[in-house]
């Protein structure tokens, strides 16, 4: 839920366990993504569409019958072109990759069978990184992976964000070394 602190950077998002509130949001948007809080690697992320006959079951399973809140975000059509993971070190972007769906799944996560491709950080994505930088540093979040789709921040990952090895391979760089050097400089 860390991304909720940056309303100008995120897609329309709610957090709720209330099935009717979730239904109203999805009906207003036409389609949305429901995400359990605290999961990893795309686990439990589901696509919701207005009029889906499985809507009640999906929400009931995801919220444990209305007892556990979930994040619901407007579905971004740009997700079909990938989900960009940007690695930040002390609030500054140091590398990125584009995660692409396997074709059998709407999720782009590598753990869900997605592939990776080389990419550049756009001016809009640099703006998003700049919006987050001071807050990340203030909160002591030094090594972070953010996910961006279509110019919107969708997640802030702070527990061992993946993508470093893939960026190193794609860009022929040494992000891991850069991270360790930064840690050594700060702790000396």
CATH of 78-187, one of 3.40.50.11750, 3.30.470.20, 3.30.70.1140, 3.40.50.720: 3.30.470.20
Question: pLDDT below 70 — which residues of the chain?
Answer: 39-43, 102-114, 188
Q: What digits encode the pLDDT tens for the residues 54-88?
A: 999 999 988 899 999 999 999 999 988 888 999 99
**Which residues contact residue 156 at a Cβ distance below 8 angstroms, ignoring those fewer than 6 apart?**
2, 3, 132, 144, 145, 146
Angle at 146 between CA 145 and CA 149, to 5 degrees: 145
Q: Where do the domains of the chain lie?
A: 2-75, 78-187
Class of domain 2-75: alpha beta
The pair of three-digit structure tokens given for residue 62, joined into one six-digit string: 């995801």
What pLDDT is attached to residue 158?
86
């Amino acid at each position: 839920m860390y991304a909720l602190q940056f309303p100008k950077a995120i897609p329309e998002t709610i957090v709720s366990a209330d099935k009717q509130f979730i239904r109203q949001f999805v009906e207003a948007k036409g389609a949305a993504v429901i995400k359990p809080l605290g999961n990893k690697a795309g686990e439990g992320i589901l696509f919701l569409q207005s009029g889906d006959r499985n809507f009640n079951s999906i929400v009931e399973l995801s919220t444990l019958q209305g007892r556990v809140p979930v994040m619901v975000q407007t579905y971004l059509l740009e997700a079909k072109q990938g989900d960009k993971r940007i690695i930040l070190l002390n609030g500054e972007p140091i590398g990125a990759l584009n995660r692409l769906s396997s074709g059998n799944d709407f999720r782009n996560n590598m753990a869900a069978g997605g592939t990776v491709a080389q990419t550049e950080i756009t001016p809009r994505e640099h703006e998003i990184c700049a919006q987050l930088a001071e807050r990340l540093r203030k909160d002591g979040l030094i090594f972070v992976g953010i996910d961006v789709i279509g110019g919107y921040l969708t997640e802030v990952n702070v527990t061992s964000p993946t993508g470093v090895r893939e960026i190193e391979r794609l860009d022929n760089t040494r992000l891991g070394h850069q991270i360790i050097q930064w840690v050594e400089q700060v702790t000396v």
